[in-house]
Amino acid sequence: MTKDAFKIDYYNSLVQALEFIVSGKDPRQKLDFIVKLTATTVDAGASLIMLDSTGNNLVHTSSWKLPRYYLQKGLIDRFKSLNELSTGKTVIIDDTQSDSRIQYPELALQARIHAIYGIPIIIGNTRPASLRVYLRSKRSFASHELNFINHMAALAALVIKEQQPALTEEKTEQVHTLPQPLKPFRDPSCFANESEVEFARLLDFYNIEWVYEPRSFVLNKEGNRITEMFSPDFYLPELDLYVELTTLKQSLITQKNRKIRRLKELYPDINITLMNKNKYDTLLAKYGAGPLGQTRAQGITRILFNREEISEKVLEIASRISSDYKEKHPVLIGVQRGFICFMADLIRNIDGPLDIDFMAISHYMSGNNELVKFTRDVDLSLTNRHVLLVEDIVDTGMTLKLILNQLQLKNPASLEVCTLLDRKTRRIANIDIRYSGFEITDEFVVGYGLDFKEEYRNLPFIGIPDLSDKKYSAQDQGKTE
């Protein structure tokens, strides 16, 4: 092909990309098209990699002409890898086997990746993503190829800015200090089964960043031949946690447990949890989904804690708080409505001055996903104040983690959590709870401020509702605390 033909070919590709991004397609389709067109035009592999919620790792978001095992090699350390996002400069790796900036040289060799070009995608003063191109033949990048890739990265920046307009120069300082995660664009067809789709939506509901099957772990080998591998379903970067779902027959849970035990033996630093069918169905039911989501509380089958037991526990917690916060004038903050009974009794039994304030959250739809947003912030200034967040019940911990992150931005002198009920069996997020009342098992509870469809809040005790009556439809289901 002549030099002029090269110019025409790359010019036509740019025209195609421009026409596509001004179309009515959604951002995921636009980014996929940019990556695919980059790969096919340059005759190489290409991938759009984005910062996760920690701001320390990069994950493949959209890729073309790269083998699956290479994409599942694991998370990419933004500092140990090419580091183009930190420097804001393009990086060329001419030889993946001799350059120390390649994290996984063995897999690069297996994938026949000879050279890599990484260009940061810049939006204002932020660098949330990078476009990387991988040569799979022993040649160098030509100048016209680099120029073309740079133009494609600029188009990707326009699409990402369209998807996340919050990444603007007005918030440059905040974003630079704490990189904002880019919401992954997900097509349900990328999941293996419907349970994974539901779990992804649940994570989106909590605004928890997730990556689907980012890494495959080798469990067994015979010589140099790999005989068994394991790819956990989800990775939650902010929690540094892998999650494996099992909604299959209970007899197959043993096999998954064996794999997880083997993984922990070989990779002791990896955090992983198995979410079995009962735990998963109960978690979905809490938000009106899954097979248990069709039930409706009709009565109380058992009282867990009576009025006297609750009163004694509140006095015990109040005594500890009074001692720990002596002369500190704390701010007690409640969220939503379930805390009302507990907080009212608690503050009446705390010795010494204190302030109280409230926050509120609501749920809204973004496309097909239901997310959480703050609808009411605290009125008091929390700068250098000792803050105590008061909860009725701590469950998965995911919403609580969002709230704590929000409060930390207000620069309190200290921030602790107080809860009446602690359901550790469902915990996903690692939350440090300083003051805890009762630990409860994996059962739905109501009373003493806790409700089901706004019922049972005024019960003077905490009990387990009857979920046996199924005459209510899915439309009757509401969000619970």
Distances (CA, A) of 302 to 37, 47, 310, 319, 443: 62, 55, 15, 29, 11
* Cβ-based burial of 275 (10 A; exposed 0-12, middle 13-18, buried ≥19): buried
Specify the pairing of strand 241-245 against strand 234-236.
Answer: antiparallel
Closest CA to 445 of 480, 414, 411: 480
- In this structure, the chain runs to a length of 481
Nearest CA among 406, 413, 330, 418 for reference residue 375: 406
Measure the CA–CA gap between 241 and 257, rounded to whole angstroms: 16
Residue pair 27/162 in contact (Cβ under 8 Å)? The answer is yes
Active-site pick, 204, 233, 345, 395: 395
Based on the residue annotation, tell me whether 395 is a catalytic residue of this protein: yes
Give the Cα separation of 156 and 119 in Å (integer).
11
With tokens 């439809």, the residue in question is 473
Task: Please give the full DSSP string across 183-214, using - where no structure is assigned.
Answer: PPP--GGGSSSHHHHHHHHHHHHTT---EES-
Q: What is the 3-state secondary structure (H, E, C) of 103-167?
A: CCHHHHHHCCCCEEEEEEEEECCEEEEEEEEEECCCCCCCHHHHHHHHHHHHHHHHHHHHHCCCC
Q: Rounded distance, CA 338 to CA 447, Å?
A: 9
* Separation in Å, CA 414 to CA 132, 377, 409, 460: 42, 18, 12, 32
Amino acid sitting at position 92:
I
CA 96 vs CA 2, 37, 116, 117, 138: distances in Å: 30, 24, 7, 11, 11
Separation of CA 237 from chain center: 6
- Calculate Rg over the CA atoms of the chain: 26
Q: Indicate which residues carry an active-site annotation.
A: 395
